[in-house]
């Protein structure tokens, strides 16, 4: 029996892991051991995610969720090294671009274990972003690179990577297509609870370090978001709540803005699907909006998902006074949406990844 250690730490990684974990759960020749670093951890929300998506329970919980990026990675690396020694896997699998991703990649290669990276090849080309550093280093170390979109293949080719590179599609697309019918039903109780109508509201999320940890950026964002006349449903991340209080910016969260606590995954997806517009700084929400054919405005200086910008489905509004001053106008006017293509694949990414893993591990 071959063994894979899958390292997860952020809520989106658990979501993206579901299709492949489901495929591995009853595999006769490959066993998956899941490690939760604890990077993003809220006990109540964690139980909701496990139950709602029927996710397998991690075998290890490391409880590392405080400190700056460097200290987080160092502590994760130390504990993951111990787990790898104990489990002696044939391969370590990581997702995305978090500190957990980088720590898992370093721990695997320092122990001489093969490394696979799901969501490889994506680039914002801004090395000041911690996520960009995590992506670039992990891709450099990985033996198997599972790429979600064609742009990622181009990026890796330009970096000289040819061996072990596979265009498989996005596992997030697998998840959305699996739950597409269910999220339609979830909207009916939500719209009554929130007092909204289909395509008559904007859905807002903010959580990234650049957006909320910088007082001037957060105030600039909230001040201009408050100018949008359409009703806004703001699912407020715990980190954002803390910084709004610390900076004394609650005065902007009134009028058209309805603040709600974090939602379950399927509730959030349902609100994205039925919104007129998504406003976000999240990489995942950009893709979810695109796959569900909901126009999106990305509140960041750059995006690694540049193909979503084609044909107007996603618009980039940078975090500076000039660009954000135009936000209300951009959000209120009719979106000139062009052609829509399946850039994230057909919902079969996990099956493709499994077949490649089988060829790699069982040959």
pTM of the predicted model as reported, rounded to 2 decimal places: 0.94
Q: Are 2 and 31 in contact (CB under 8 A)?
A: yes
Residues 115 and 147 in one domain: yes
φ and ψ of 134, to 5 deg: -60, -40
Assign 333 a pLDDT band (cuts: 50, 70, 90). Answer: confident
Whether 286 has a pLDDT exceeding 90, the answer reads yes
Assign 45 a pLDDT band (cuts: 50, 70, 90). Answer: low
141: domain CATH number is: 3.40.50.2000
Residues 217 and 125 in one domain: no
Residue pLDDT, tens place only, 213-250 = 999 999 999 999 999 999 999 999 988 999 999 999 99
- Under DSSP, the state recorded for 58 is P
Residues 10 and 152 in one domain: yes
Q: What is the pLDDT of residue 184?
A: 86
Cα gap 147→304, rounded to integer Å = 13
Q: What is the pLDDT of residue 40?
A: 77
Residues 143 and 205 in one domain: no
Ranked by mean pLDDT, the top range of 38-42, 51-55, 101-105 is: 101-105
Q: What is the pLDDT of residue 238?
A: 87
Q: Tell me, yes or no, if 355 is annotated catalytic.
A: no
Residues 300 and 356 in one domain: no
Residues 143 and 216 in one domain: no
Cα gap 222→239, rounded to integer Å = 15
Assign 292 a pLDDT band (cuts: 50, 70, 90). Answer: very high
In a domain, 310, yes or no: yes
What is the average pLDDT across 14-42?
92
Q: What is the pLDDT of residue 299?
A: 97
What is the average pLDDT across 316-339?
89
What is the average pLDDT across 264-288?
96
In a domain, 338, yes or no: no
Residues 49 and 130 in one domain: yes
What is the average pLDDT across 180-202?
93
Q: What is the pLDDT of residue 246?
A: 97
Residues 157 and 189 in one domain: no
What is the average pLDDT across 158-186?
94
Q: What is the pLDDT of residue 215?
A: 96
What is the average pLDDT across 41-51?
69
Cα gap 129→152, rounded to integer Å = 18
Give me the percent of the chain exceeding a pLDDT of 90.
Answer: 84
Cα gap 235→264, rounded to integer Å = 11
Residues 239 and 132 in one domain: no
Q: What is the pLDDT of residue 181?
A: 87
Q: What is the pLDDT of residue 50?
A: 78
In a domain, 261, yes or no: yes
In a domain, 175, yes or no: no
Whether 22 has a pLDDT exceeding 80, the answer reads yes
Considering the chain, what is the average pLDDT of its residues? 94
Whether 58 has a pLDDT exceeding 90, the answer reads yes
Query: Which pair of structure tokens corresponds to residue 27?
Result: 């595999």
Q: What is the pLDDT of residue 332?
A: 87
Give me the percent of the chain exceeding a pLDDT of 70.
Answer: 98
Q: Name the residue range of residue 214's domain.
A: 181-332
Residue pLDDT, tens place only, 87-146 = 999 999 999 999 999 999 999 999 999 999 999 999 999 998 899 999 999 999 999 999
Provide the CA 205 distance to its chain's centre, in angstroms.
Answer: 12
Q: What is the pLDDT of residue 334?
A: 61
In a domain, 166, yes or no: yes
Q: What is the pLDDT of residue 336?
A: 61
Q: What is the pLDDT of residue 15?
A: 92
Whether 44 has a pLDDT exceeding 60, the answer reads no
Domain count along the chain: 2
In a domain, 133, yes or no: yes
Residues 30 and 165 in one domain: yes
In a domain, 156, yes or no: yes
Which is the catalytic residue, given 36, 207, 237, 274? 207
Cα gap 97→10, rounded to integer Å = 10
Provide the CA 199 distance to its chain's centre, in angstroms.
Answer: 24
What is the average pLDDT across 186-208?
95
Residues 126 and 237 in one domain: no
Q: What is the pLDDT of residue 42?
A: 64
Nearest alpha-carbon partner for 272 in 290, 257, 298:
290
Residues 349 and 320 in one domain: no
In a domain, 32, yes or no: yes
């Amino acid at each position: 029996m071959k063994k894979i250690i899958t390292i997860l730490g952020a809520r989106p990684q658990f979501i993206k892991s579901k299709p492949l974990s489901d495929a591995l759960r009853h595999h006769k020749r490959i066993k998956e051991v899941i490690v939760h670093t604890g990077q993003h951890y809220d006990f109540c929300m964690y139980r909701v995610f496990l139950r709602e998506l029927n996710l397998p329970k991690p075998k290890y919980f490391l409880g590392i969720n405080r400190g700056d990026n460097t200290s987080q990675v160092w502590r994760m690396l130390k504990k993951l090294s111990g787990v790898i020694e104990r489990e002696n896997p044939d391969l370590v699998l990581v997702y995305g671009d978090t500190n957990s991703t980088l720590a898992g990649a370093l721990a695997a290669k320092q122990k001489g274990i093969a490394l696979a990276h799901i969501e490889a090849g994506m680039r914002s080309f801004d090395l000041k972003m911690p996520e960009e550093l995590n992506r670039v280093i992990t891709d450099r170390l990985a033996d198997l690179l599972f790429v979600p979109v064609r742009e990622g293949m181009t990026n890796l080719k330009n970096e000289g990577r040819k061996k072990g590179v596979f265009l498989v599609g996005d596992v997030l697309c697998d998840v959305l297509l699996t739950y597409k019918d269910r999220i339609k039903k979830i909207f009916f109780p939500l719209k009554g609870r929130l007092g909204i109508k289909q395509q008559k509201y904007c859905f807002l999320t903010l959580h990234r370090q650049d957006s909320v940890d910088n007082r001037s950026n957060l105030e600039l964002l909230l001040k201009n978001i408050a100018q949008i006349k359409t009703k806004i449903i703001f699912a407020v991340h715990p980190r954002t709540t803390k910084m709004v209080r610390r900076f004394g910016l609650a005065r902007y969260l009134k009028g058209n803005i309805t603040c709600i606590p974090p939602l379950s995954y399927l509730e959030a997806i349902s609100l994205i699907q039925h919104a007129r517009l998504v406003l976000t700084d999240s990489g995942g929400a950009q893709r979810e909006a695109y796959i569900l054919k909901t126009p999106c405005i990305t509140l960041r200086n750059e995006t690694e998902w540049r193909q979503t910008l084609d044909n107007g489905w996603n618009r980039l509004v940078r975090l500076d006074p000039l660009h954000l001053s135009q936000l209300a106008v951009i959000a209120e006017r009719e979106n000139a949406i062009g052609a829509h293509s399946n850039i994230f694949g057909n919902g079969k990414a996990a099956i493709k990844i499994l077949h490649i893993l089988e060829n790699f591990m069982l040959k």
